[in-house]
Structure 1
Amino acid sequence: MAIQVFIDQGHNPSGVNAGAEGFGYREQDITYMVGRYLADIMADDSRFEVMLSRPTPETSLGTSNATSLMERVNMANEWPADYFISIHVNSNPNPAVNGSEVYVYEFDDVASALAEQILLEIVRRTGTKNNGVRENPSLYVLRRTQMPAVLVELGYISNEDDVQKLVNDQYQFAYAIYVGLLNYLELPQIL
């Protein structure tokens, strides 16, 4: 039976729950494409079945920040997913802050180990700085999902070096998440 992976492309295209912006780019466009690439990569691997929170660039979930997050979690729980991967990009008022980090609800064996493998591959493939796996129990999508869940912050849209990678290396970010999941599951690469 295929491993069911729910890919949540953070934020809506516009309006409620829209994402961060920097250097003329929008978080929701980057997360949409990285998630789309990841779904396409995993669709070619019969060991996985994938569901996207935003199957099209225009897909908008919920009528508020709270209901947008709730819809994503409900979709994953009802499917039911075996793993939940939420894709985001970060922002900071200090333009020097850069790098990738992965958030988990709490440090545990499953989500933390998965987060670590994903982060190592992102850093290895894209050259972002490793900011570590971090615990954040306040994040709704980590708190309310009924399966191991990680929230991946690919890089900082507010940092000039990171934003170039976020725009130009979207496939590499997606492939890194895929390989990180394979490494965690101790599955061989077949693609």
Structure 2
Amino acid sequence: SMLESHGHTVITTRIDDTYYSLSYRTNKANRYNCDYFISLHMNSFSNRNARGCEVWVYDKSSRLYNTSQSVCDSLSKALNTPNRGVKVSKSFTVLKKSKMPAMLVEIDFISNSIVEDVCSSYDYCYVVAKNICNALLNM
């Protein structure tokens, strides 16, 4: 809704906890000829102390590379979590199969009890959305 309030059209692939395959998600974005594909995730690790935001892109030449750095920097500061940086992967389906520039945002580690306790609160979700929105608007 934040992006839409600035005149942007937003197509979502999920609005609830229903699982859709990664191919379904990228196919939908490709079918709608989206400008960008932003995939939001919560990371997980066996070490329950793990924390941090990271953003993945297909390669460093992506039009979203600098924006990914902004997203990572702003989320790290706003959520007071370590900045794990922007990383490159050619193996993530959503990065590989989307026809448009894409980023995969790992907001923080849901396996961390501190993050798990707050990540579904309105305030937490608002901070995440606001920081990602601002980075996208400032491209």
Ranked by relative contact order (alpha carbons within 8 Å, sequence separation 6 or more), the top structure is 2
State the match for 1:107 in structure 2. Answer: 60
Cα distance, 1:76 vs structure 2 = 0.6
Determine what percentage of the aligned residue pairs are the same residue: 33
Superposed counterparts of 1:29-68, under 5 Å: 40-46=1-7, 48-54=8-14, 56-57=15-16, 59-61=18-20, 68=21
Q: Alpha-carbon deviations, 1:90-120, whole Å to 9, x = none?
A: 0000112111100111122512112111111
Check if 1:86 corresponds to 2:39.
yes
Is 2:121 the counterpart of 1:172?
no
Q: Is the 8 Å Cα contact of residues 68 and 86 (structure 2) preserved in structure 1?
A: yes
Give the root-mean-square deviation of aligned CA atoms.
1.5
Corresponding residue number in structure 1 for 2:87: 134
Separation of aligned partners in 2, 1:137 and 1:60: 23
Residue 88 of structure 1 deviates from its aligned partner by 0.4
Runs of 5+ unmatched residues, structure 1: 1-39, 62-67, 186-191
Structure 2 unaligned spans of 5+: none
After TM superposition, the runs of 4+ consecutive aligned structure 1 residues lying more than 4 A away are none
Aligned residues: 137
Is the 8 Å Cα contact of residues 62 and 101 (structure 2) preserved in structure 1?
no
